[in-house]
Amino acid sequence: MTTTTEVSGTADAAQAGSATRERRTPAGLERRGLKATGIVLGVILFFTAGLSLIDALVPTPGTEVGAGQVVNLGGRARFTPATDWERESKSNPKGGNYFVARAGVEFRIGVFSSDLSATAVVKTFQGELRKTYPTILYNDTTTATTSAGLSGVACQFSALNVKGAILAFSRGGSAVLSVAIGPPENVVTLKDQINAMFDSIEFVR
Amino acid sequence: MTAVHVETEPAWGQGESLFQPRRAAFWLFAALLVFGVIKLISYFMPALDNTPDGMAIAIVLWGAWMIPFVWIVRRLDLMEPEPIPFLGAALAWGGIVATSLALIANGAFGSVIFKAAGTEFTQQWGAAIRAPIDEETLKALGVVVVILIAARQVNTLLDGLVYGAFVGLGFQVVENLAYSAREMQTAFANGSSPFEALWHIFVLRGFAAGLWSHAVYTGIVGVGIAYFVLRTDKTIQRRVAVAALLFAASCSLHFFWNSPLFDNVVKDDADLNIVALGLIKGLPALILVFVLYRLARRREVAWFDGALAGEETLVTPDELAALHTMKGRREAIQAEERQSGWRGARLRRQLQQAQVRLACAKVRAADPHDAMVEEARADVRSTRDALSKVSTSPVSGTPSPA
């Protein structure tokens, strides 16, 4: 009787062991939950590699800015847009306005006649921007000097879903107002190019 | 009285370790955690280099900001508090895994939206479209992975809410820290004050946007996932529909929050406008999660009462009623303090904890006379005896010596 039980027990154990092995992968992982884990991994791959691939495949609208292209703004100021940014159709360089964009970030620049100081230009624009983004918060204005020695006033801002910076210059009855604005993460990613565009601004006369 | 339909008994107290090397989900979690840490270190490194003081303050500030939320969410699950390692895992998924993956997904998705719809549309609606889809999905996967690592940890709908809320809270805190780092970094580069930038972002995201966002959204999704996993008595179609509906509700609320709709309710007062915006856009999510909490909690209370049925000598009806809510427990402790001083209050708290452990032990053990249950009963008795010695008034339910 004892022997029978032992044999039966051994057989059960062997069967259980076999069942356990069947429920495991060769690497020793449990098969239960494996499919669901694979689905989780698939979703993650879609949101990372998949979306990046789709982004690479979708062409960018607009006209791509050529390397080193200098834009003359109504004969009063000029700047150099960053390479790989797209010129937007609303740009009117002869009228003194230019818009370039990349990854949802827009860099706008405009030159106009004004007797206002650079600080006053920034303050006026802050009020305008607040109408579009009521939750916007502005940092204190600071003095900014381009590598060409042009001195102006800068201000960063952040709202719930956008961030950016304003930079204004004023000289001899003309003012230049430039703004970079876009989704926070993309503004950060493109900050070097944005800063280079700010830095390239200069008055023509 | 409304009948509470109980389909599945929760497996309270059936603890599992977070370390599950035989489960693929564990290794996926571990690998993504390593990836996330590396990704976030590289993301935060410039800010750590340039404004180490600012980053230290930001970490302390956001860490402190999180404490009351952790306290509140943990207390939602009064009947069977979830094990700290699993709550930590949920927090880590939200704060490290989901945020690092969202950094990649948000950038690519935002760029696709820009290419398809242009700059102005992207600035106005980009965040409203991409964030609910990729962030809610990546956070929801955190609850799924916790279940895949240790299914027995998610026993009730309330557990799904708690784990979801922890994933969301982790995401929210690290996202806020990322925003702070960005702002301080830009401020540093432009020569303005990083501390002022930090304060701006703390006000904006900590209060205007932070009181009910990711924790609430993922809490809602967590209830849906728990429903899908636990309510096996329902048809698969119904389980999928409920989970999908709650996911869609969460995405819609996130979309509404990120959209420019109702952004300018109070035109002349920016501060008041932010408060109004928070109420109009945030309150619906809070109301939904509160309703889900009430429904889930009602089921949990029914299980709790069932577990303690027949234990009236150890848990009197008044004590049982007090155990149902945080307020009830607190009032009982305060009443004890008035009667017996701080020692009595401490023992009353210990008695309540012992009674909760008894309920968990009874649910866990099939046999009501199991050694584990007897041990829990003995614990209640000894605590009650200690309480009766310091109490100036008779302690109700004190068992007579056998």
DSSP B241-271: HHHHHHHHHHHHHHHHHHSSTTTTSSSS-HH
pLDDT along chain B (402 residues), means of 10: 43 69 95 97 89 92 93 84 90 97 92 86 90 97 94 84 96 92 78 83 77 90 94 92 98 93 78 80 92 91 89 93 90 92 93 90 80 92 92 53 34
Any A CB within 8 A of B22 CB: yes
Looking at the complex, report in whole angstroms how far the Cα of residue B141 sits from the nearest Cα belonging to chain A. Answer: 7
The reply to whether A191 touches chain B by the CB within 8 Å rule is yes
Q: Residue B175 has what pLDDT?
A: 92
* More confident of the two residues B306 and A68: B306
Of A104, A189, A195, the CB nearest to B119: A104
Q: How far is the alpha carbon of A56 from chain B, nearest alpha carbon, in Å?
A: 9
Q: How far is CA A150 from the centre of its chain?
A: 27
> What's the confidence (pLDDT) of residue B120?
81
- Please answer whether residues B300 and B4 qualify as being in contact, where contact means their C-beta atoms are separated by less than 8 angstroms: no
> What are φ and ψ of residue A202, in 5° steps?
-155, 150
- For the segment A167-182, what is each residue's pLDDT rounded down to a tens digit? 999 998 999 999 999 8
Q: What is the Cα–Cα distance from B149 to B89, expressed in whole angstroms?
A: 10
DSSP letter string over A153-180? EEEEEE-SS-EEEEEEEEETTEEEEEEE
d(CA A147, CA B369): 83
Report chain B residues whose CB lies below 8 A from the CB of A99.
119
Of the two residues A1 and A75, the one the predictor is more confident about is A75
Say whether residue B32 is in contact with chain A using an 8 A CB cutoff. yes
Whether residue A200 is predicted with pLDDT greater than 90 in this model: the reply is yes
Best A24, A106, A161, A189 residue to mutate vs chain B (most B CBs within 10 Å)? A161
Q: How far is A91 from chain B (nearest CA, A)?
A: 13
- Please determine, for the modelled complex, whether the ipTM score is greater than 0.90: no
For residue A89, report the phi and psi dihedrals to the nearest 5 degrees: -65, -20
B266, closest residue in chain A (CA to CA):
A134
Side chain identity, residue A164: G
